[in-house]
Structure formats: C-alpha cells, structure tokens
C-alpha cells in the first residue's frame, strides 16, 4: 500500500510537471519520471513484462522521438516562441468540464464493485518470471500473445508498418534540387512565418 501512495504521488507530480512546464525539455524530463514511476507501479501489480516494455518502448523510443523533434524545431539556443493566445477564456470552462467528468467517473466507479471477491490473488511472484503459468510473467504473456491473441498481434505489426511509411512521407523534406549554377540554394534553416489565411 505504501508503494501505491508513494508512486501515486510521484505519478501525479510528474504529470503536473509535464503539463505545466514552459520549456518542452523540462516536460520531457517530467514525462520520463512519469514513465518510470508507472513501470514500478506495474511491477507492484505483478505485470513485470509490461513494466519492462513500458520503460523500453516509452522511455527509450518515444521519449527519444520527442527529444529529437525538440532539437529539430529549436532555432539556436533560444526558447520556443509562441504567438498570442487565441483562446484566453478557455481555462475556466476547461477546468470545469474536467472536474465534472472526473466527478462523474468517480461516482460511477466507486459505487460499483469492480472485481469479484472470490478470486484469490496469487502470492508475489517476483523471481519466477519466465514460467508460463505464473500470472504476469513473460512466459504467460507470450503464450497469450501468440496463441489466444495472435490476430491483434499481427494487426499491430501492420499498424507499425503503416506508421513508418506515414512518417517518412509526412516528414521528409522534398528532394533537394540541383541548381546547375543558376540560382542559389535556399538555406535549410530559413524561417518564414506561416501565411495567415482569413
């Protein structure tokens, strides 16, 4: 229980840090803390494989993506600049709606029994990872993934392929033109404001 509370506070704090920091790099750090805390929480919930996946994929891949894009979009060492706030009055209503939704969700969740009372949880299984009949172990997970849930697995692979193709198409620069000495090549870092269309 104490683990839950400590990790819970960590999670919330890091989430708030992610959302409120001015500089995106600080937000990335907060997000990393969030991922790590969540991984530990997974561990306490007997989901060891998922904890590792969480750290590797989220923290190792996705966060890196974010860092690279921050680097790509930064100009020199200055902070990101932002235009004027077009929705200055959004704070109050946003907060209100979120609180209402949260209240509704909590009301629904906490009134109903969420799990049967008869299932006896297994004892702590740390150390027995790899056994296919231990809940949460990599063996158990692998068996499930490759037998019962094989189709979703294959579809997921497909999704990833589509994502890769999409990224290449969207983010790739146009093929640089050879100028044949007629006019100078435009520098890559040239900045122009986006034309505002009324």
Partner 1 sequence: MSFDPSPYVALSAVIFFIGVLGVLLRRNPLIVLMSIELMFNAANLALVAFSRAWVNNAGHVFVFLVITVAAAEAAIGLAIVVAVFRRSVNVDVDEVASMRG
Partner 2 sequence: MNALLISIWLLPLIGAILLWAFGPQLNRTAGVVGTFVVFFSFALTVALFDVARAPGGLHVTFGSWVPGFDFGLLLDPLALLWALVITGIGGLIHAYAVGYMWSDKAVARFFAYMNFFVFAMLTLVLSDNFVGLLVGWGLVGLASYFLISFWFYKPSAVAAGRKAFVINVFGDIGLMLAIFVLFAQLGSLGYAAVFSKVGQLSMPALLLVCVALFVACAAKSAQVPLHTWLPDAMEGPTPVSALIHAATMVTAGVYLIARCAPLFNASPQSQELVGIIGALTALTGAVLGLAQWDIKRVLAYSTMSQIGYMIMGVGVGAYEAGVLHFLTHAFFKAQLFLGAGLVIHALHDEQDIRKMGGLRRRMPFAFLAMLLGTLAIIGFPGLSGSFSKDAVIYGVLERGHPMLFGAGVLAAGLTAYYMFRMIFITFFGTYRGELDDAAVGVAERVSSPEPEDHAVHLPDWVMQAPVAVLMLGTVGAGWLAIGGTSSPWYRFFGDAFGTSVAAAEVPGFPEIASTLLVLVVVAAGFAVAYARYGSPNAMAHAVDQLRNESRTMPALLVHAFYVDDALDALFVRPARALGTFCARFVDPHVIDGGVKDLVWLASALGLVFRVLQNGLVRTYAFTLVAGAAAVLVYAAWMGSR
Q: Is 64 in the site for partner 1 (CB under 8 A)?
A: no
Q: In the set 123, 127, 171, 185, which binds partner 1 (CB under 8 A)?
A: 171
Burial bucket for residue 137 (CB in 10 Å: 0-12, 13-18, 19+): buried
In the complex, minimum distance from the CB of residue 69 to partner 2, in angstroms, rounded to a whole number: 17
In the complex, minimum distance from the CB of residue 86 to partner 2, in angstroms, rounded to a whole number: 6
Q: In the set 50, 52, 128, 129, which binds partner 1 (CB under 8 A)?
A: 50
Interface residues toward partner 2, by CB under 8 A: 86-87, 90, 93-94, 97-98, 100-101, 104-105, 107-108, 111-112
Count the helix, strand and coil residues of the chain and give each as a percent rounded to the nearest 5.
60, 0, 40
Instruction: Look up residue 161 and give its two tokens.
Output: 């392929």
Span 107-136, contacts to partner 1 by CB under 8 A: 109-110, 114-122, 135-136
DSSP letters for 68-99:
HHHHHH--TTSPPP----S-GGGHHHHHHHHH
Q: Is 88 in the site for partner 1 (CB under 8 A)?
A: no
Token pair 């969540």 is at which residue? 38
Instruction: Look up residue 4 and give its two tokens.
Output: 């839950």
Q: In the set 77, 78, 124, 170, which binds partner 1 (CB under 8 A)?
A: 170
**CA gap 79, 76 in Å, rounded:** 9
Count of residues of this chain found to bind partner 1 when the rule CB under 8 A is applied: 91
């Amino acid at each position: 229980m104490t683990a839950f509370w400590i990790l819970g506070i960590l999670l919330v704090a890091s989430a708030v840090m992610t959302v409120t920091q001015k500089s995106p790099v600080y937000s990335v750090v907060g997000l990393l803390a969030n991922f790590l805390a969540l991984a530990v929480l997974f561990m306490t919930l007997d989901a060891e494989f998922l904890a590792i996946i969480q750290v590797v994929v989220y923290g190792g891949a996705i966060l890196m993506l974010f860092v690279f894009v921050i680097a790509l979009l930064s100009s020199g060492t200055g902070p990101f600049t932002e235009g004027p706030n077009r929705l200055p009055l959004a704070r109050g209503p946003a907060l209100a709606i979120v609180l209402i939704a949260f209240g509704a969700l909590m009301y629904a969740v906490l009134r109903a029994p969420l799990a049967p009372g008869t299932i006896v949880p297994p004892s702590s299984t740390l150390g027995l990872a790899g056994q296919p009949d231990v809940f949460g172990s990599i063996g158990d997970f692998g068996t499930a993934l490759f037998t019962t849930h094989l189709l979703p697995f294959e579809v997921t692979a497909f999704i990833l392929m589509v994502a890769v193709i999409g990224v290449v198409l969207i983010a790739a620069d146009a093929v640089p033109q050879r100028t044949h000495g007629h006019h100078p090549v435009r520098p890559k870092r040239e900045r122009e404001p986006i034309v505002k269309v009324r």
